Structure 1
Amino acid sequence: MSTTTPVSDTVIPQLRQDLNGARLPKWTPAAVAALSVAVGCGIGAAADLASKLQWGLISAGLFLLVSYGLSAKVEGRRQAKDRFATSVIWVSFILAVIPLVALTVYTVQQGIEVVDDYFLSHSMKGVLSSGPGGGIYHAIIGTLEQVLLATAMAAPIGLLTAVYLVEYGRGRLAKAVTFFVDVMTGIPSIVAGLFIFSIWNIILDFGYSGFSGSLALAILMIPVVVRSTEEMLKLVPNELREASYALGVPKWKTILRIVIPTAIGGITTGVMLAVARITGETAPVMMLVFGSDVINENPFKDPQQSLPLYIWQQYAMVNNEYGYARAWGAALVLIAIVMGLNLIARGVARWRSPKAGH
């Protein structure tokens, strides 16, 4: 005897109504956004709010409220909750992008006037800090050499550490390595600089150089590379490893020929994130590299300049319009260098990533 409870005759029509009910037009979110911005700006102007940020927050709040209320009225509460969650995501995205765009635009506006061939091809040798002229050629050379040296040290160490944690790591040693990587992730840059200064400069008695700054930058870079590479290696399907093992391929060769090439795109992106993280560091460079007004192409001897330190030195000169202009120009060049490195990394990742059918 069947004990199945019959479905009520009113349930199925209700479900059909929920699934096939009225829907708002596709242009509704854009229209609501435009209306919210207009009303928000009107409220901000009427209330005499000086900050445009307040106008934006009012507009964002109105957008969320109107979107939810309109969707609940027409489509029902279930669909309204979905639209509200989507609206929150869009608002959060816009709030995150606006400062980035504003910073980029302002930097371009302030720095584009001073960036020219002379600015990029000359140093500050013989130039008064309070006067016109001077360039960032020596700072560009120092930044590129210091970052490349730090990457050459940190990337292999980070990659091998991540491979160990994902492919071999078991027991107390793996837990200890994971713990120290987590601790290193939160180390302030000044602490890394102090550590290298104590070991390299005081105990081993080496002088100021670009290489000593690279050592501190490598310490800051390693945990970022380890964490990003570790996550990318975990995304490689285990079926690829098992298929390789089934063919009799040793584990080390499977990692070298299968796992790493499959994850090379993500690994490269992680390395470039670490490069971007250290390129703008000032404290370790100030402490270990010391800075210089002349061109020093040897990172292993004598003080050397870098773009972050150059920006700080120029902007630290109070009421000096020439220093401010040089600082903004150097900041623009620094952003361009980081952007260029990221584009190169993406190109390398696309070139080296596995292709379909291969």
Structure 2
Amino acid sequence: MTTTTLDKPIKAPTFRDVSTSRRLRNHLATGLVWLCFAIALIPLAWVLIMVVSKGFESVISIDWWQKSQKGILPDQSGGGVYHAIYGTIVQSAIAAVIAVPIGIMAAVYLVEYGRGWLAKTTTFMVDILAGVPSIVAALFIFALWIATFGAPQSAFAVALAMVLLMLPVVVRSTEEMLKLVPDELREAAYALGVPKWKTIARIVIPTALPGMISGILLALARVMGETAPVLVLVGYSKSINSNVFDGNMASLPLMIYQELANPEPEGRARVWGAALTLILLIALLYAAAAVVNKLLTRNR
């Protein structure tokens, strides 16, 4: 019995079968990608190494985390950053409490209900708000909240400016997560007679929740390092102020700016220490976003 060529198994092409020119182009493209990756890492590594080397001595001190700068003169060493950490967390938390529900509801409207001119206008305004510089948001809140309404400079005014910066990030990240939910889940719920609002609340949002939480935490980490709102809307305080509606309140970016005017070596040490503290705080939020996303994805 003779065997035809059709009975022979077809051999899959290997990398050696590719022409020499194509292999060279592949190696060249791979090398360029790795080169660009290394170039992008150089400034990041440079910044991290400089901040860690100059601020590590301050950060390892127990007093740095437990005390404020109350009673510490510009040329004195000691004190800590507790008051600035408190102010940063409080201002960011207030902004999150306001921005997150509004951003989620806006994203749900755009994905589930948005049609016609209102949805297009909302999308356009979100895009515009995403490109607004932080100083413009701070000046807007100053003109509206302080100059028009007569409210004092306070941590709450800073939080309002942070809301404007957080909203587009929360809306866009939530919108993308909701779009990833399969339409089959919605259609199955509708086929069982479940109302649309209950389908969104019980099926769509829980399915998209891991990505939504990650986007919210990343938006929060972004606004924690903003300097313009704290420079325009609140003054610096060396101690903790528990009143968010009146009085000065420190934050890490504001402490860095304040200590830059101190020519003493102690001031420079506090600048680098506060900068490293801010980096650690933001890195902690990024790590929390990754952990929450992983846990919620695993438990689904």
> How does the TM-score come out when normalised to structure 1?
0.76
**Corresponding residue for residue 267 of structure 1:** 212
Do the aligned partners of 2:236 and 2:258 also contact (CA within 8 Å) in 1?
no
Out of 333, 338, 347, which is 2:277 matched to? 333
**Corresponding residue for residue 7 of structure 2:** none
- 1:212-223 mapped onto 2 (5 Å cutoff): 212-223=157-168
Q: Deviation string for 1:179-200 (max 9, x for gaps)? A: 1001100111111111111111
Shift of 1:21: 5.9
One-letter amino acid matched to 1:287: V
Please tell me the root mean square deviation across aligned C-alpha atoms, in Å. 2.1
**Corresponding residue for residue 78 of structure 1:** 22
Shift of 1:342: 2.2
CA distance in structure 2 between the partners assigned to 1:120 and 1:21 by the alignment: 57
One-letter amino acid matched to 2:275: A
- 1:69-108 mapped onto 2 (5 Å cutoff): 76-108=20-52
**Corresponding residue for residue 245 of structure 2:** 300
**Corresponding residue for residue 352 of structure 1:** 296
**What secondary structure, in the 3-state scheme, does the structure 2 residue paired with 1:224 have?**
helix
Do the aligned partners of 2:218 and 2:289 also contact (CA within 8 Å) in 1?
no
Task: Evaluate the alpha carbon distance shift between residue 138 and residue 355 of structure 1 in structure 2; reply closer, same or farther with a 3 A threshold.
Answer: closer
Task: Evaluate the alpha carbon distance shift between residue 138 and residue 254 of structure 1 in structure 2; reply closer, same or farther with a 3 A threshold.
Answer: same
Out of 181, 185, 199, which is 1:240 matched to? 185
Unaligned runs of 5+ in 2: 1-9
* Of 252-261 and 88-97, the range deviating more from structure 2: 88-97
Confirm or deny that 1:22 pairs with 2:16. Answer: yes
Confirm or deny that 1:211 pairs with 2:156. Answer: yes
User: Which structure's CA Rg is the greater one?
Assistant: 1
Aligned length: 290
One-letter amino acid matched to 1:199: L
CA distance in structure 1 between the partners assigned to 2:170 and 2:73 by the alignment: 41
Out of 161, 164, 169, which is 1:224 matched to? 169
**Corresponding residue for residue 309 of structure 1:** 254
**Corresponding residue for residue 158 of structure 1:** 103
Confirm or deny that 1:321 pairs with 2:244. Answer: no
Q: Deviation string for 1:259-288 (max 9, x for gaps)? A: 111111211111122112111111111111
* Of 235-244 and 326-335, the range deviating more from structure 2: 235-244
**Corresponding residue for residue 4 of structure 1:** none
Shift of 1:233: 1.2
**Corresponding residue for residue 141 of structure 1:** 86
Task: With a CA cutoff of 8 Å and minimum separation of 6, indicate the structure with the bigger relative contact order.
Answer: 2
CA distance in structure 2 between the partners assigned to 1:277 and 1:295 by the alignment: 23
Task: Evaluate the alpha carbon distance shift between residue 21 and residue 110 of structure 1 in structure 2; reply closer, same or farther with a 3 A threshold.
Answer: closer
One-letter amino acid matched to 2:174: T
CA distance in structure 1 between the partners assigned to 2:193 and 2:34 by the alignment: 50
One-letter amino acid matched to 2:73: L
Shift of 1:244: 1.6
Confirm or deny that 1:123 pairs with 2:117. Answer: no
CA distance in structure 1 between the partners assigned to 2:44 and 2:191 by the alignment: 49
Shift of 1:209: 1.2
Residue identity over aligned pairs, in percent, reads 50
One-letter amino acid matched to 1:176: T
Do the aligned partners of 2:152 and 2:245 also contact (CA within 8 Å) in 1?
no
CA distance in structure 2 between the partners assigned to 1:84 and 1:136 by the alignment: 49
**What secondary structure, in the 3-state scheme, does the structure 2 residue paired with 1:99 have?**
helix
Shift of 1:298: 2.4
CA distance in structure 2 between the partners assigned to 1:20 and 1:335 by the alignment: 47
One-letter amino acid matched to 2:280: A
Shift of 1:294: 1.8
> How does the TM-score come out when normalised to structure 2?
0.90
Confirm or deny that 1:283 pairs with 2:228. Answer: yes
Task: Evaluate the alpha carbon distance shift between residue 79 and residue 119 of structure 1 in structure 2; reply closer, same or farther with a 3 A threshold.
Answer: same
**Corresponding residue for residue 6 of structure 2:** none
Do the aligned partners of 1:265 and 1:346 also contact (CA within 8 Å) in 2?
no
CA distance in structure 1 between the partners assigned to 2:260 and 2:57 by the alignment: 16
Do the aligned partners of 1:261 and 1:354 also contact (CA within 8 Å) in 2?
no
